[in-house]
Amino acid sequence: MQRKETWVTDLYAFVRSRKDTPYEWGTNDCCSFPCDAILAMTGTDVYEEFRGKYVTEAEAGAVLQEVVGSTDKVDAIEYITKKFEMKEIPVPFAQRGDVVLLNVDEGFALGIVHLDGVNVAAVAGDGLHRVPIKFATRAWKV
């Protein structure tokens, strides 16, 4: 998987398009959002096996169980990153557009390193939030 030449512009347009889009299972949740960002940057749909198959938390769990063999989000990201050969990197080396696992008050969430390079764009109830990268516990190169 390789980023397109226009990945910066594409990521910027994608993040702007989702800025005020609230959290919604299956279309804008903590797993689909970073995968959609990867799609915008690379043209590769790493979420293909999950896309369009759930609209509730329970359905998401069932799809994860079916595809990954677990309902754990971390297992899902490990499944995707291994399948698409996305190398895990130390968090301090995560750069714009890389995927990170956040440990926040609500639990674990996935996000994309923001174009500013010091924050993570992650989906919340009312749209995207910028979360300081210091809350990232793991990172993968896109």
Residue 1: pLDDT band (50, 70, 90) is confident
The pTM for the full model equals 0.93
Going from N- to C-terminal start, the domains of the chain cover 7-140
pLDDT in tens, 64-111: 999 999 998 889 989 999 999 999 999 999 999 999 999 877 778 899
Contact between residue 117 and residue 96 where contact means Cβ atoms under 8 Å apart:
yes
In angstroms, rounded to a whole number, what is the distance separating the alpha carbons of residues 126 and 6? 28
Section 42-54 average pLDDT: 96
Q: How far is CA 34 from CA 77, 99, 133, in A?
A: 10, 7, 15
CATH number of the structural domain 7-140? 3.90.1720.10
pLDDT in tens, 103-136: 877 778 899 999 999 999 999 889 999 999 999 9
Section 45-62 average pLDDT: 96
More confident residue, 40 or 105: 40
Section 37-45 average pLDDT: 98
Contact between residue 104 and residue 132 where contact means Cβ atoms under 8 Å apart:
no
